[in-house]
Structure 1
Amino acid sequence: MTHTELTVGDLIDLLSACDRSAPVRQAMNPFFPMAHRLAQVVQAVDETGRPVVYLAEGRDADTQLGHLPPEVAVELAWQPPVQTPPRRPRRTAGGK
């Protein structure tokens, strides 16, 4: 299976539509979605000699911010949309 990787150019294009003063977060682990602060951008070379850029979380204890907001997990298709269950009629004191 071939994966299409997001490039630095793609990331810049996507970020250019965002509020420049908004903090950057990283969404991690689709099975237990959490939000993390990003602290570093590191450029390196992969095993084939191609340049690769890594976005890394910080080392501080408060780097993991908690659960990812549900609407973000839904937008990422990590969770299905949750709908309110249908209401059932209330039972009366007589059990009917």
Structure 2
Amino acid sequence: MTEPDLFRSVTEAIRDCSEAARQTAIEPNSRLFEDLSLDSLDLVAVLMRLQDAHSIELDLDAVPDFRNVSDLMTELGRQLRLKSAA
């Protein structure tokens, strides 16, 4: 999956899970909580949506480590690479 594809997938999941984020421009460096107004439940919903969309397992214990959109893109890309290598 290319960088633009990762970005598109993550932003779609964010917009699907947060009405506030639908009204905000999303960039790779957008902060999940401060800029996009996500709360921890929104973030878990985003992760679950990404898991369902890509048939992968994301580590929900890593939620506190996700600070911006690029963190989600990195983790999604890592999990997709692991899936394709299996």
Tell which has more relative contact order, 1 or 2 (C-alpha 8 A, sep 6+): 2
Tell me, yes or no, whether TM beats 0.5. no
Larger of the two Rg values belongs to structure: 1
Class of the TM-score when normalised by the shorter of the 2 chains: under 0.3
TM-score, with structure 1 as normaliser: 0.24
TM-score normalised by the chain length of structure 2: 0.25
Q: By percentage of residues, which structure has more strand?
A: 1
